[in-house]
């Protein structure tokens, strides 16, 4: 997976618990024992990560399929 | 997987075999490809194909005697395609490309005589760096001079130019004596005697008749290092000369590399092809008679090329969207799937081929050799499961659905009301119960009234587990059914679903089964006769069950006498896309199957499998289930246009069926399900997305319940929407919603993924229990 996913629109979104804005942060996503570093919108304070719809059915789905075929 | 399984399937598929014109051509010219290029208006491309098999095509194209014509499948119909004419057109409309000269080797060869055999040998051998000296024994060109009278003078001249260009040389033989032959054999590594040149005299060279017997494989003789082209008196002398020159080149090339001349030459001789071709639809078409047979026009040639039947085995490809989707055929498939299975490291790129096959058996039925792809897929799936290489997502939803259908709040077994044990038990199947809840209840009431002593069992038979290759889960589900059957007096099972029937026959052979349609055909009619014109579709699971097919037709003859047959029916019926869980693994392909099958019938379709009915309905086609006309629920034209139940409704309906049946027939009142604590509004337009993503309303309810308890994860200050998620199994569901002033949760969007992100539910969690494990704990009936 590319480390940076372009054009993630996080306008207006804040972490509900911390009330902090989201920033793009390198995080580890994992599946089937493999992990990837990817830049995702996350809470600046608690690090909670948001996975937007277009990513879930775009690149993330591609990588899930790839890992399942591994 | 045992390699014998692969080889057995490969052996049965003749797709890669050449057509008869090619297998019986001494040069194995790919006539099919040449015809194709001519029809595309690309003679230069056709020339490339011709050059690959026919040496010195610019010359040989004038001389080919067309051994293929009497082998052409048109031969019995009218006359074989005139390939020599096509070859002539190709060489007249393309350029001869001079090859890049190879560095000269030290191997030198002499050729006596200068007819076609010697020229071919010189041309072919020098392309590999071995130079040939042609010794003239008479006029340069030998017997070619006379036959080429109708060809432009330049043809032979250009050939000699090419021979020179390739570094070969021409000398004049001083005399044809045994001494001269001995001198040549001392000077050159081999000598080729071109008997096609009438001026060559083998006897003068001291060769005995015994020594002139030509080895059909190597073109060698009994005299060491002497190779021969046959005399021009043989049948089709020019093809024989072409073969001799080419074969000698093959022998010498091996010899120079220290390999025996007869090694690996099995494919060079002519052979009968095993390619299966159906020409039953071919119409007679007379061969064209060109105005000038030595210069055919493009139109004449296209007309002749169009006579080619393009022999190919297309039987399975013609009927299977799966084979067309992956651009395969059984032999290719078998290799790809086998390689996929034995991949020890790396990406298993053909998983999707295996997981999305419908296992419907149609390819085997239409294959003249019975190539059984479905059986191969079944073995492949089982091995993928056993070695833990089955992609989790492929069939997961269908298996979860199985477990849900067999969960205690949905499944049940009851002997006939007021009876401890019943003679029979009606087993409608989980899909029919989900799609036709009220109708199945009516059918059960009818059975009980007319037949008496009929119990009822609602659960999934286990077919999805079997389709997906999960033997553990399959046995587990079968064991539960077997246990209930044995415990309740071993009743006869009355089955409504052809897939259930297949499952029972395979996994529960000890249970006596009857088809619902067989039973109903013998009972008093439950419904009025319908005047609708319907097209009957046989489900693929009923392909081999002639008794079932017959009983359905008996019923239809009574209740819908205007019914007609699908184009593909009975043993040759097509699958709707659900078989083998194909549509779960590959939705677009599953849809293509439904469309393909719907195209086989004009009138509204009627099937006796509700999955077929619902999948046809997804394509927009009007369709009915057989129960719809036997136990009508409202206006039939409206019913046939109605969409099938969605995934959420199906699960709800199965639970509803249990409650209604237990209440109506056994007076067992079950508590109403607890309504969700929050009112959730899902807009109509979101349902299609949910179906595609296999998201249920209960998934959304779980996420909202979690958010209502602990607050959402994210909030959008502009739209006012909240975002929450939950990972109830291997999938994380996200729900974007807002709470309106009335306290209702309005859902705006929903999506899901399988990966785990930091702070998300599922992070650090143990792997969820296997489906088999889940079945053991949650699959009790």
DSSP assignment of B548-559: HHHHHHHHHHHH
Q: Which of B351, B755, B759, B761 to mutate to test the interface with A (most CBs of A within 10 A)?
A: B755
Question: In a 3-state reduction of DSSP, which class is residue B121?
Answer: helix
The C-alpha atoms of residue B565 and residue B332 are separated, in whole angstroms, by: 34
Q: Which residues of chain B are within 8 Å of residue A27 when distances are taken between CB atoms?
A: 757-758
Quickly state the pLDDT bin for A4 (edges 50, 70, 90): low
Which residues does B237 contact at the CB level (< 8 Å), separation at least 6?
B143, B196, B230, B231
Q: Is the pLDDT assigned to residue B450 strictly greater than 80?
A: yes
- Give the closest of A29, A53, A65 to B756, CB-based: A29
Question: What does the pLDDT read at residue A7?
Answer: 65
d(CA B492, CA B511): 7
Instruction: Tell me how far apart the alpha carbons of residues B5 and B8 are, in angstroms, rounded to a whole number.
Output: 5
Nearest to B719 among A12, A42, A57 (CB): A12
Give the separation between CA B673 and CA B602, rounded to whole angstroms.
Answer: 43
CB-based contact, B349 to chain A, within 8 Å? yes
Q: Which DSSP state fits B349?
A: T
Chain A residues with beta carbon closer than 8 angstroms to that of B346? 70
**Residue B10: what pLDDT?**
94
Give the mutation candidate from A1, A8, A11, A12 for the B interface (greatest B CB count, under 10 A).
A12
Q: How far is B435 from chain A (nearest CA, A)?
A: 29
Average pLDDT, integer, range B71-88: 95
Q: Is B310 on the interface with A (CB under 8 A)?
A: no
Token readout for B239 is 């093809």
* CATH numbers and ranges of domains, chain B: 18-95+276-306 (1.10.1060.10), 108-256 (3.50.50.60), 315-386 (no CATH), 392-524+645-673 (no CATH), 526-642 (3.40.50), 680-778 (no CATH)
| pLDDT-based confidence at residue B761 (cuts at 50, 70, 90) | low
| Residue B141's pLDDT band (cuts 50, 70, 90) | confident
Q: What is the mean pLDDT of residues B627-632?
A: 93
Average pLDDT score over residue span B753-766:
68
Q: Is A61 on the interface with B (CB under 8 A)?
A: yes
B732 in contact with A, Cβ within 8 Å: yes
Cα angle value B756/B759/B763 (rounded, 5°): 45
For residues B499 and B429, the answer to whether their CB atoms sit within 8 Å is: yes
Provide φ and ψ at B659, rounded to 5°: -65, -45
**Residue B8, pLDDT above cutoff 90:** yes
Reference B643, options B583, B687, B694, B693; nearest CA is B687
Mean pLDDT across B469-488: 96
Q: How many Å apart are CA B227 and CA B129, to the nearest integer?
A: 19
pLDDT band at A6 (very low <50, low <70, confident <90, very high): low
Per-residue pLDDT, B781: 28
Predicted confidence (pLDDT) per residue in B308-365, tens digit: 999 999 999 999 999 999 999 999 999 999 999 998 888 898 999 999 999 999 999 9
Pairing of strands B454-458, B412-414: antiparallel
* % pLDDT > 90, chain B: 84
Residue B347 pLDDT: 87
B235 burial type by CB count under 10 A (0-12 exposed, 13-18 middle, 19+ buried): exposed
Q: CB of B710 within 8 Å of any CB in chain A? A: no
**Mean pLDDT for all residues in chain B:** 92
The dihedral formed by the CA atoms of B45, B50, B51 and B52, expressed in degrees to the nearest 10: 100
Are B220 and B227 contacting, i.e. CB atoms less than 8 angstroms apart? Answer: yes
User: How many angstroms separate the first and last alpha carbons of chain A?
Assistant: 15
* Contact (CB<8Å) B714/A53: no
d(CA B301, CA B299): 5
Cβ of B755 within 8 Å of Cβ of A66? The answer is no
**Angle at Cα B57 formed by Cα B52 and Cα B60, nearest 5°?**
130
Chain-chain contact of A40 with B757 (C-beta, under 8 angstroms): yes
Split at pLDDT 50, 70, 90, the class of B729 is: confident
Residue B772 has pLDDT above 60, yes or no: no
Rounded average pLDDT over B456-482: 96
In which element (H, E) is residue B11 found? helix B3-12
Select from B339, B587, B753 the residue whose CB has the most chain A CBs within 10 Å, as the one to mutate to test that interface. B753
pLDDT for position B417: 94
Q: Is B642 helix (H, G, I), strand (E, B) or coil?
A: coil
∠ CA(A20), CA(A24), CA(A28), 5° rounding? 110
Would you call B714 an interface residue with chain A, using a CB distance cutoff of 8 Å? yes
Query: What's B103's DSSP letter?
Result: P
Contact: A16, B715; criterion CB under 8 Å: yes
Provide the CA B454 distance to its chain's centre, in angstroms: 44
B347 touches chain A (CB under 8 A): yes
Contact: A70, B391; criterion CB under 8 Å: no
Of B351, B711, B756, the CB nearest to A17: B711
Q: How close, in Å, is residue A7 to chain B by CA atoms?
A: 17
Min distance B711 CA to chain A CA atoms (Å):
8
Q: Name residue B108's beta-bridge partners.
A: B131
ipTM above 0.90, yes or no: yes
**Encoding tokens for residue B147?**
């036959």
| Residue A5 scores a pLDDT above 60 | no
The reported pLDDT for the residue numbered B84 is 96
Residue B764, token pair as written in the block:
């650090």
Distance CA B535, CA B602 (A): 7
Residue of higher predicted confidence among B774 and A44:
A44
Q: State how far the Cα of A41 lies from the Cα of A50, in Å rounded to an integer.
A: 6
Residue range(s) defining the domain that contains residue A42: 1-70
d(CA B678, CA B745): 7
The pLDDT of residue B142: 75
Q: Which residue has the tokens 């330049």?
A: B154
Chain centre distance of CA B250: 37
pLDDT of B763 above 70: no
Region B248-263 average pLDDT = 94
Closest C-alpha to B757, from A56, A70, A10: A56
Q: What pLDDT was estimated at residue B775?
A: 40
Evaluated on CA atoms B224, B228, B230, B232, the torsion sign reads negative
Nearest to B758 among A49, A57, A63 (CB): A49
Q: What is the CATH number of the domain that holds A38?
A: 3.10.20
Distance CA B719, CA B347 (A): 42
Give the nearest chain B residue to A42 (CA atoms).
Answer: B758
pLDDT at B405 over 60: yes
Per-residue pLDDT at B54 exceeds 70: yes
Pick the range with the lowest mean pLDDT from B113-117, B399-403, B445-449, B631-635: B631-635
CA closest to B347 among chain A residues: A70
Number of domains composing chain A:
1
pLDDT tens per residue across span B211-231: 999 999 999 999 999 999 999
**pLDDT at residue B93 tops 90:** yes
Q: Which residue has the tokens 């099938």?
A: B644
Comparing alpha-carbon positions, the chain B residue that sits nearest to A56 is B753
CB pairs under 8 A between A and B: 98
Query: Is A51's CB within 8 Å of B718's CB?
Result: no
Q: Which of A39, A40, A56, A67 to mutate to test the interface with B (most CBs of B within 10 A)?
A: A56
Give per-residue pLDDT as tens, B531-571: 889 999 999 999 999 999 999 999 999 999 999 999 999 99
């Amino acid at each position: 997976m590319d480390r940076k996913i372009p054009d993630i629109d996080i306008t207006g979104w804040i972490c509900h618990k911390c009330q902090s804005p989201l920033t793009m942060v390198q995080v580890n996503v994992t599946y089937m024992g493999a992990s990837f570093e990817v830049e995702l919108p996350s809470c600046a304070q608690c690090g909670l990560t948001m996975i937007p719809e277009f990513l879930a059915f775009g690149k993330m789905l591609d990588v899930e399929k790839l890992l399942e075929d591994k | 997987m045992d390699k014998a399984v692969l080889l057995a399937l490969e052996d049965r598929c003749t797709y890669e075999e050449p057509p008869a014109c090619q297998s019986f051509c001494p040069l194995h010219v790919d006539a099919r490809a040449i015809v194709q290029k001519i029809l595309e208006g690309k003679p230069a491309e056709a020339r490339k194909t011709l050059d690959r098999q026919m040496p010195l095509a610019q010359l040989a194209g004038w001389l080919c005697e067309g051994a293929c014509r009497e082998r052409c499948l048109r031969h019995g119909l009218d006359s074989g395609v005139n390939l020599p004419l096509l070859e002539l057109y190709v060489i007249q409309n393309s350029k001869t490309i001079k090859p890049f000269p190879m560095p000269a080797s030290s191997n030198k060869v002499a050729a006596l005589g200068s007819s076609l055999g010697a020229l071919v040998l010189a041309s072919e051998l020098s392309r590999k760096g071995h130079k040939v000296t042609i010794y003239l024994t008479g006029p340069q060109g030998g017997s070619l001079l006379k036959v080429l009278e109708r060809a432009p003078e330049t043809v032979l001249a250009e050939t000699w130019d090419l021979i020179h260009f390739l570094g070969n040389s021409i000398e004049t033989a001083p005399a044809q004596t045994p001494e001269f032959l001995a001198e040549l054999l001392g000077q050159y590594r081999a000598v080729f005697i071109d008997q096609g040149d009438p001026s060559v005299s083998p006897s003068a060279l001291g060769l005995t008749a015994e020594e002139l017997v030509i080895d059909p494989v190597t073109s060698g003789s009994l005299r060491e290092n002497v190779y021969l082209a046959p005399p021009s008196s043989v049948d089709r002398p020019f093809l024989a000369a072409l073969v001799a020159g080419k074969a000698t080149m093959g022998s010498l090339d091996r010899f120079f590399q220290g390999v025996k001349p007869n090694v690996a030459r099995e494919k060079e001789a002519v052979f009968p092809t095993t390619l299966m071709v159906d020409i039953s639809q071919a119409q007679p078409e007379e061969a064209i008679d060109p105005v000038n047979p030595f210069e055919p026009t493009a139109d004449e040639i296209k007309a002749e090329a169009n006579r080619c039947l393009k022999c190919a085995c297309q039987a399975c490809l013609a009927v299977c969207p799966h084979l067309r989707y992956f651009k395969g055929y059984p032999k290719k498939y078998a290799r790809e799937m086998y390689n996929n299975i034995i991949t020890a490291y790396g990406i298993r790129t053909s998983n999707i081929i295996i997981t999305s096959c419908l296992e419907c058996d149609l390819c085997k039925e239409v294959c003249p050799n019975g190539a059984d792809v479905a059986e191969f897929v079944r073995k492949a799936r089982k091995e993928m499961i056993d070695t833990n290489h089955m992609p989790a997502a492929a069939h997961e939803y269908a298996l979860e659905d199985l477990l849900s259908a067999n969960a205690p709040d949905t499944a049940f077994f009851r002997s006939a009301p007021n009876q401890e044990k019943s003679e029979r038990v009606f087993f409608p199947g989980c899909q029919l119960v989900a799609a036709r809840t009220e109708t199945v209840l009516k059918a059960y009431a009818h059975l009980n009234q007319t037949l008496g002593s009929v119990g009822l069992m609602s659960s999934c038979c286990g077919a999805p587990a079997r389709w997906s290759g999960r033997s553990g889960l399959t046995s587990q589900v079968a064991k539960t059914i077997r246990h209930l059957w044995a415990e309740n007096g071993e009743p006869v099972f009355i089955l409504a679903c052809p897939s259930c029937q297949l499952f029972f026959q395979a996994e529960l052979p000890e249970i006596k089964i009857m088809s619902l349609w067989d039973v109903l055909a013998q009972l008093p009619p439950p419904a009025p006769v319908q005047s609708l014109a319907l097209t009957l579709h046989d489900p693929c699971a009923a392909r081999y069950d002639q008794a079932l097919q017959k009983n359905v037709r008996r019923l239809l003859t009574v209740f819908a006498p205007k019914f007609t047959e699908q184009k593909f029916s009975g043993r040759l019926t097509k699958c709707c896309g659900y078989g083998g869980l194909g549509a779960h693994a590959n939705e677009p392909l599953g849809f293509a199957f439904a469309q393909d099958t719907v195209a086989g019938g004009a009138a509204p379709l009627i099937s006796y499998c509700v999955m077929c009915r619902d999948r046809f309905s997804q394509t927009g086609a009007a369709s009915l289930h057989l129960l719809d006309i036997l136990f009508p629920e409202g206006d039939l034209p409206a019913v046939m246009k109605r969409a099938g139940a969605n995934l959420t409704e199906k699960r709800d309906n199965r639970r509803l069926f249990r409650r209604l049946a237990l209440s109506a027939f056994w007076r067992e009142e079950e508590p109403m399900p607890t309504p969700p604590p929050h009112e959730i509004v899902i807009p109509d337009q979101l349902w299609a997305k949910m179906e595609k993503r296999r998201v249920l309303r209960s998934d959304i309810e779980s996420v909202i319940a979690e958010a209502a308890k602990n607050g959402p994860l994210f909030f959008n200050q502009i739209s006012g929407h909240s975002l929450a998620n939950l990972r109830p199994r291997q999938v994380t569901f996200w729900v974007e919603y807002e709470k309106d002033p009335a306290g209702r949760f309005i859902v705006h969007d929903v999506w899901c993924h399988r990966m785990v992100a930091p702070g998300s539910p599922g992070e650090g969690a143990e792997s969820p229990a296997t489906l088999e494990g889940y079945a053991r704990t949650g699959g009790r009936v």
